[in-house]
Amino acid sequence: MCGITGWLDWDADLLHQARTVREMTATLACRGPDADGVWLSRHAALGHRRLAVIDPDGGAQPLADRPGADAAAVLAYNGELYNHRELRTELEALGHVFRTRSDTEVVLRAHLQWGRSAPSRFNGIFGYALWDARQEELLLVRDHLGIKPLYWHAHRSGVLFGSEPKAVLANPLFRAELDTDGIAELFALPAAPSAGHGLFRGLHEVRPGHLVAVTRAATREVRYWRLESAEHRDDAATTRGTVRDLLADAVERQLISDVPLCTLLSGGVDSSAVTALAAAARERAGQGKITSFSVDFPGSADRTPDAWRTTRDAPYVAAAAEHIGTLHTTVLVPDDDLLDARDAVLRARDRPGWGEMDASLHLLFREVRRRSTVALSGEAADEIFGGYPYFHDAAAVAAPTFPWLHGKATPADLLRADVRAEARPEEYTAAAYHRSLGEVPRLPGESAHDARIREVFHLALTRWLPPLLDRVDRVSMSVGLEVRVPFCDHRLVEYLWNVPWALKAPDGRAKGLLRDAVRDLLPPQVTDRPKSGYPSTPAVRYTEVLTARAQELLADPNAPVFELVDRDLVRRLLAEGRPLPSPRTAPNPVGGLDHLVQVDEWLRAYRVGLR
């Protein structure tokens, strides 16, 4: 995977801005440790950092359709195109001549052939920028589900863009500022962020399934993919078989790599199914055993289960790894390492995140990267099959809000009265929820229950899944690891979108459809294991250190977090031994404390101005 950035300016001569463009590009070195490149013209500049996965020798970027200054189109691409071989064959039949084996050139020539409709032909993960010199048009394009990030900012005479906010922040035309909408996103909706909102004032994300077209005359957002509702006509057996075939094909496609590849194996049905299908595909291809990795923590065996974390991973990981026959490694993460990783995670995400859960994921990915460059994950199965607890909680489903926020406090409860009056977090959340409902593709004639379940699935795909995908991308790319997500194959998502709830959860079994579709691949205890969320560590010292830092903030009259948060309220809650409201919906007593400290660290490190 890679990092891209760039600058479009209709007034300035960017041939004289090489230094700034290189500085923007350098911020993304972690995403692309293998090579870098910059392409400049008068009005458009592109920067690229490369993680070589396919055609390491021939895939240098930015890539132009022809050498020299008269290029018709130039591409800076972050992604993997899983159907690039089929598209290459089709384009060659249309007369295109390829200079490389890379999927990057397939993307470039697809645009030369099909223009803005090219992304609808792609199967993959991507966020890219294409400068069309013929039309004087910049296209910023993001994949169907938003697996790869892409941010942009409109300035007076053009746009800045980058795979991560840090690239845009490196340009003096953009300042790190937080307005009232940003405050509401950060404190009220960290678990349901608004599509397209980049948190910083004036920063946007290209929305999943969209492209942004920038010309002298206008900047337009164009949707190239959407879910469509239709009656599901397949019976249960056909549905199971189709799910199995689509998932197996997605996994096999995503095994394409010219560098070492592995899987992330938690012992749940999702990651175990991906691992088993990957192992079977490698066996058919005459390749060796697949490598797998999991994470664990000292003292995890003594932790009391809860509604979110129902069982330990370790026994199920061992059962799955033995049954499938993987070369498995468990990465053990101690408290001190979590503390050491905090700054790296903040810099990776460019915003306050999920604290110790981000830190442990960073440490897991860092160890994985020592042996692999690409990893397959079971992410997104719960969103498309309905595996999370809120899908099965009648009160949460019926609640007039995002189901996972039903009955939950948010960090917005800590805001100062004057800040709350301006940001109006409750109104902001309600407006975001109703706006989201307005985007649901309806199916005429559905029962009220099925229509509501359809809404919940759409909310899960468009508001719950994006921060999970963002977390995985940003944390993995901070160590130069590419994580692929077969369950996000848009063909599988499209099919499951119209599968009725009764088939997805037969006999009320959570993810029963998936379990039955892969039952022959796994040991029974793994296939039927109840949902158990990503582990938060029983980190005693981590909690002690964060508590001490919070007390230091309370004693600091200039702590920037208290320009937003009620200092007396935080002091009282800590004195009473009560947990602060967390940005996460999973139960975690340290989550709110982590968020408070991280917000302060972020405001200082990024010199964020408040508007």
Residues belonging to the active site: 2
User: What tokens were used for 535?
Assistant: 């582990």
Please report the beta strands in 133-203, taking only residues with DSSP state E, as ranges in sequence order. 137-142, 151-155, 158-162, 177-178
State the residue for tokens 């697996």: 147
Phi, psi angle pair for 106, to nearest 5°:
-65, -45
User: What tokens were used for 84?
Assistant: 């690039």
> HSE-up of 13 (CA within 13 Å, CB side)?
2
**Residue 17 class from Cβ within 10 Å (0-12 exposed, 13-18 middle, 19+ buried)?**
middle
Phi, psi angle pair for 39, to nearest 5°:
-125, 130
Q: How far apart are CA 234 and CA 509, in angstroms?
A: 20
**DSSP classification of residue 73:** E
| Contact call for residues 456 and 501 (beta carbons, < 8 A) | no
Q: Report the candidate in 600, 3, 83 with the shortest Cα–Cα distance to residue 352.
A: 600
Buried b (16+ CB within 10 A) or exposed e, 123-140: bbbbbbbbbbbeeebbbb
| Contact call for residues 131 and 73 (beta carbons, < 8 A) | yes
Residue 338: count of CB within 10 angstroms of its CB: 24
User: What tokens were used for 17?
Assistant: 């801005």
Q: Provide the pairing of β-strand 137-142 with 124-132.
A: antiparallel
Please enumerate in sequence order all residues whose Cβ is within 8 A of that of 236, keeping only pairs 6 or more positions apart, or say none.
Answer: 503, 506
Assign residue 349 a region (left: φ > 0; alpha: ψ between -120 and 50; beta: otherwise). alpha
User: What count of residues does the chain have?
Assistant: 611
Strand order in the sheet with 137-142: 63-64, 73-81, 124-132, 137-142, 210-214, 219-223
